A and B are shown apart, each in its own frame.
Chain A
Amino acid sequence: MSQSRTDYSQQTQWMLAVRDKRDRHAFVALFDYFAPRLKGFIIRSGASPHQAEEIVQDVMLTIWRKAASFDPHRAQVSAWIYQIARNRHIDIARKENRPMPEELKEEPGIEPDASQILGLEQEAGQLRQALANLKPEQREIIEKAYLGELTHQEISSQTGLPLGTIKSRIRLGLERLRHELKDLKQ
């Protein structure tokens, strides 16, 4: 299925090159795409421009070092980086280590399932479209929630996004991984 790799989004191709080949050119491409967005995002979530650059540096180094835990069957590059950025920001701002769920690691050498990866990318694209189609005030609430500006009580009163189809895609990726982890342990 490796011929399908060229159908993946640019970000996914860069990230896989970083993960599997430690490709520095791909890392630079990721930096050029994500670092300015990360800086804007971190400033919006309350950091000074100077502090934001420190966090961007931290996030980019984490991307390089933790690349092995990126699984394109379950997460878009942007979703994976989003969680790293929130974690690093909180770790630095609150000086505490954020508790993380146990990691389910993709074992090296497992054939990628291109249709699952492309399916997830498609769902994520539709989610982004749904977000863009929201009324501005509704969209602002969603952005505030994911920028970390709302408590869970405030989030529970917001109108939900349609997350059903992306959930079923992620579930397929998770089932595939669980199945393989089980096979490997036997």
Chain B
Amino acid sequence: MSAINHHTPDAMLAAYAAGTLPHAFAVAVASHVSLCAKCRVALEAHQAVGGAVLEDTSAVAVSSSLKDSILAQLDDPFTPEPVYDRNGIYPGPIMEVMKGRAPKWKKLGMGVRQDILTEDAFGSVRLLYIPSGQAVPDHSHNGLEMTLVLQGSFSDETGRFGVGDIEIADETLEHTPIADPGDACICLAATDARLRFNALIPRLLQPLFRI
């Protein structure tokens, strides 16, 4: 496996640590960090800053019953949330979104397939399967798009993206990603919702539909 060349921008790692990224982008970042030691280190450095801010926050007295209430619950049985392990090319965070199932591919034509994992008012997460030599289906960006390569590679005007690489595209980028020769390219694409409404609703109305 070749080394990762395209990383999560630092401001996105900070926002991920602080929890302000929309869910779709958080899935992409958590998946990239699962594959990339460099970004894991950077994320943990941001968590250290968060910890410093927490430690220096002025204390606010807690109510007198809180400690006893917590201590009384230490022995309560609890069910840990299920942990989804990596499965083949799919990192844990993607397995979690899929609830452990395999991708359910739907044909889009020209051998391209997709599986929409989540789609709501805040954004969408999908898997794309692109045979070598094929272009990613025609799309424009009216918001932000994060693409994480899981298998194979694709190239566009900005460079080549292999396994683990993440591409960030916004309205300023016009690109035609094409899957490279070799294995079919499988990637995770996360977008915020504005991209979905691009063709349907005049731009002015879009903020109304965001929430």
A89-B19, A148-B20, A152-B21 are known contacts. Are A82 and B70 too (CB-CB below 8 A)? no
Within A88-137, which residues are at the interface with B (CB < 8 Å)? Answer: 89-90, 94, 96-103, 123-124, 127-128, 131-132
Interface: A87 (CB within 8 A): yes
Q: Which residues of the partner chain A approach B46 to less than 8 Å between Cβ atoms? A: 146, 163
Closest beta carbon of chain B to A159's beta carbon, Å: 12
B51 contacts A78, CB within 8 Å?
A: yes
Residues of B within 8 A of A166 (CB): 45, 48
Tell me the minimal C-beta distance from B168 to chain A in angstroms: 10
* Count: A-B pairs, CB below 8 Å: 198
Contact B17 A83 (CB under 8 A): yes
Q: Complex: how many Å from CA A154 to CA B154?
A: 30
**Beta-carbon contact of B67 and A86 below 8 Å:** no
Instruction: Please state if A128 and B52 are interface contacts (CB–CB under 8 Å).
Output: yes
Q: Any chain B CB within 8 A of the CB of A12?
A: no
Interface-facing stretch out of B85-93, B103-111, B132-140, B171-179: B85-93
Instruction: Give chain A residues whose Cβ lies under 8 Å from the Cβ of B58.
Output: 40
Q: Which residues of B contact A76 (CB under 8 A)?
A: 48, 51
Determine which residue in B20, B26, B80, B85 has the highest number of CB atoms from chain A within 10 A of its CB, and name it.
Answer: B20
Question: Which residues of chain B are near A142, meaning CB under 8 Å?
Answer: 49, 53
Instruction: Take A98-B19, A100-B93, A156-B9 as given contacts and tell me if A82 and B53 are in contact as well, using a CB distance cutoff of 8 Å.
Output: yes
Q: Is B56's beta carbon under 8 Å from chain A?
A: yes
Q: B66 and A53: CB pair below 8 A? A: yes
Q: What mask results when residues 17 to 35 of chain B are scored 1 for a CB within 8 Å of chain A, else 0?
A: 1111101001100110110
Nearest CB on A from B51, distance (A):
3
Complex formed: what's the CA distance from A157 to B80 in Å? Answer: 39
22 A-B Cβ contacts within 8 A? A36-B61, A52-B60, A61-B70, A75-B51, A76-B48, A86-B19, A87-B19, A94-B23, A97-B81, A97-B96, A99-B93, A100-B30, A101-B93, A146-B17, A146-B46, A146-B53, A152-B12, A152-B14, A155-B14, A156-B9, A170-B44, A174-B41
Residues of B within 8 A of A (CB): 9-12, 14-15, 17-21, 23, 26-27, 30-31, 33-34, 37, 40-63, 66-67, 69-71, 73-74, 78, 80-81, 83, 85-86, 91-93, 96-97
Binding site for B on A (CB under 8 A): 24, 27-28, 31-32, 35-41, 43-44, 49, 52-53, 56-57, 60-61, 64-65, 74-83, 85-87, 89-90, 94, 96-103, 123-124, 127-128, 131-132, 142-143, 145-153, 155-156, 160-161, 163, 166-167, 170-171, 174, 178
